[in-house]
Structure 1
Amino acid sequence: MRQNPSFAMTDVSELRRLIARNPWMTLVSSTDDGLVASHYAVLLDDDRDDLTVVGHVGKPDDLILGLGERELMLVVQGPHGYISPSWYGDVAAVPTWNFVSVHLTGVPEILSPDENLRVLDRLVEHFERRVSEPRMLWERPNDASFVERLERGTVGFRMTPTKVVAKRKLSQNKTPDVVETIIAELSGDGSYAQPELAAEMRRAADARPQR
C-alpha cells in the first residue's frame, strides 16, 4: 500500500480501535507456489497493549500459508466508499475512494493447543455476547469432546507485527466546507451513503488542528 504522509496513521490507540472494530481480515503469504490469501476473524491480544493480534486458521490453511515459517501480512479493511466529484462543487474533479486500512506484517508464533483453545473460546465470546441468547463455546449441546475435536482442526497463532503500514484517506486534502459536504452525502440516504465512513471522516475532521 503506497503511503502518503498526509494520510498516514501512526497513533497506536487509533490503530487498535480500527483493528478491534474490523476483525474480519485477509491473511496474505508469499509461498513457493506464489501469493496465497485466506480470510479469518482476528482479535487484538487482550494481554497486550500494542498491536499484537491472535487468531486461528483451519487446517490445512496453516500449511498453505506457511504459518509460523514465513512473513504473514494481515490486511485490516476499515470503512470505505465511493466519493463523487459532484460533491466537490463546480470545480474540475474526478471520482475517488475514501478508506481506512492497515497492513500488519510479521512472522506468527504458533500457539499450543491450550492457548489455541483459549483464543477460540474468546473468539466465540467476543461475537456471541451481542446475541440475545448467546451460546458460548463450552455450552451444551457442545461437549468437551466436540470442542477438543474443533481445536485439533485448527492452528492458533499470535503475531506481533514488525512492520505496520496504516492509511486513512478521508479527504484531508480538501477544504473544511467540502469535507462537510462529503460527510453529509455519506450520512444521507443516497446511492453511495456509507454512515461508518462518514463517522470516520467526522472523527478525522474533529481531530484536525484548527487554523
Structure 2
Amino acid sequence: MRQNPSFTLADVTEIRRVIEANPWATIVSSTDDGLVASHYAVLLDDDRDDLTIVAHVGRPDDLIHGLGERELLVVFQGPHGYVSPGWYGDVPAVPTWNYTAVHLAGTPEILTPDENLRVLDRLVERFENGMPEPRLMWQRPNDAAFVERLAAGTVGFRLTPARVVAKRKLSQNKPVETIESVIAALESEGPYTNRPLAAEMRRAQVAREGNRA
C-alpha cells in the first residue's frame, strides 16, 4: 500500500481500534508456488499493548503459507466506500474511494497447542458474547474430546509486526465544507449511503481539528 503523508495513520491506539473493529483479515504470503491469500479472524494479543496479533489457520494452510518460515502480510480493511464528485459542489472533481486500511508484516511465531487452544477460546468468546445466549467453546453439547479434535486441525500463530503501514484516506486533503458535504451525503438515504464510513470520516475530522488546537 503506497503511503501518503496526508493520509498516514500512525497512532497505535487508533490502529488497534481499526484491528479490533475489523477482525476479518486477509493473510498473504509469497511462496515458491506464487502468492497465496487466506482469510481468517484475527485478534490483538491481550498480553500486549502494541500491534501484536494472534490467530490461527486451518490445516493445511499452515503448509501452504510456510507458516513460521517466511514473512506474512496481514491486511485489515476498515470502513470504505464510493465518494461521488457531485458531493463536492460545483467544482472540477472526479470520483474517489475513501477507506481505512492497516497492513502488518512480519514472520510469525507458531503457538504451542495449549496457546492455540487459548486463542481459539478467546476467539469464540469474542464473537459469541454478543449473542443473547452465548455458546462458548467448552459449553455442552461440546465436550473436551470434540474441542481438542477440532483444535488439532488448526495451527495458531503470533505476529509482532516488523513493518506497519496504516492509511486513513478520508478526504482530509479537502476543505472542511467539502468534508462536511461528503459526510452528509454518506449519511443520507441513497445508493451510496454508508454510515460507518461517515462515522470514520467524522472521527478523522475531529482528530485533525484536535491536532490543530
Residue 166 (1) aligns with residue 170 (2): no
**1:68-108 CA distances to partner (integer Å, 9 max, x unpaired)?**
00000000000000000000001111000000001000101
Matched AA of 1:25: A
What displacement does 1:187 show? 1.1
- Residue 68 (structure 1) aligns with: 68
Q: 1:55 maps to what in 2?
A: 55
Distance 1:151 1:205 in 2: 43
SS in 2 for 1:208: helix
- Alignment match, 1:195: 195
Q: What is the rounded CA distance, in whole Å, between the counterparts of 2:50 and 2:101 in structure 1? A: 17
**What's the counterpart of residue 3 of structure 1?**
3
Q: TM-score, with normalisation over the residues of structure 1?
A: 0.99
- Residues 13-92 of structure 1 mapped to structure 2, 5 A cutoff: 13-92=13-92
How many pairs align? 211
Partner Cα distance (2:30, 2:95) in 1 = 33
The alignment partner of 2:42 has SS state of strand
Letter of the 2:131 counterpart: V
- Segments of 5+ residues of structure 2 without an aligned counterpart are none
Q: TM-score, normalised by structure 2?
A: 0.98
Unmatched tracts of structure 1, length 5 or more: none
% identical equivalent positions: 71
How big is the shift at 1:189? 1.4
> Whole-Å Cα distance in 2 between the matches of residues 137 and 126 of structure 1?
11
**Is 1:131 the counterpart of 2:123 in the alignment?**
no
Please give the alpha-carbon distance, in whole angstroms, between the structure 2 residues aligned to 1:49 and 1:11.
13
Whichever residue aligns with residue 94 of structure 1, its letter is: V
Aligned equivalents of 2:186, 2:140: Cα separation in 1:
44
CA distance in 2, matches of 1:42, 1:107: 16
Partner of 1:95: 95
Supply the RMSD in Å over aligned alpha carbons.
0.8
Instruction: Report the counterpart of residue 205 of structure 1 in structure 2.
Output: 205
Give the deviation of 1:190 after TM superposition.
Answer: 1.1
- 2:189 and 2:35 map into 1 onto residues whose CA distance is 39
Post-superposition offset of 1:208: 1.3
Corresponding residue SS for 1:102: strand
Cα distance in 2 for residues equivalent to 1:133 and 1:188? 35
Per-residue Cα deviation, 1:174-203 (whole angstroms, up to 9, x for no partner) = 100000010011112111011111011001
Rounded to whole Å, the distance in 2 between the matches of 1:175 and 1:42 is: 36
Query: After the TM superposition, which segments of 4 or more aligned residues of structure 1 sit over 6 Å from their partners?
Result: none
Deviations 1:137-190 (A, max 9, x none): 000010000000011000000000000000000000110000001001111211
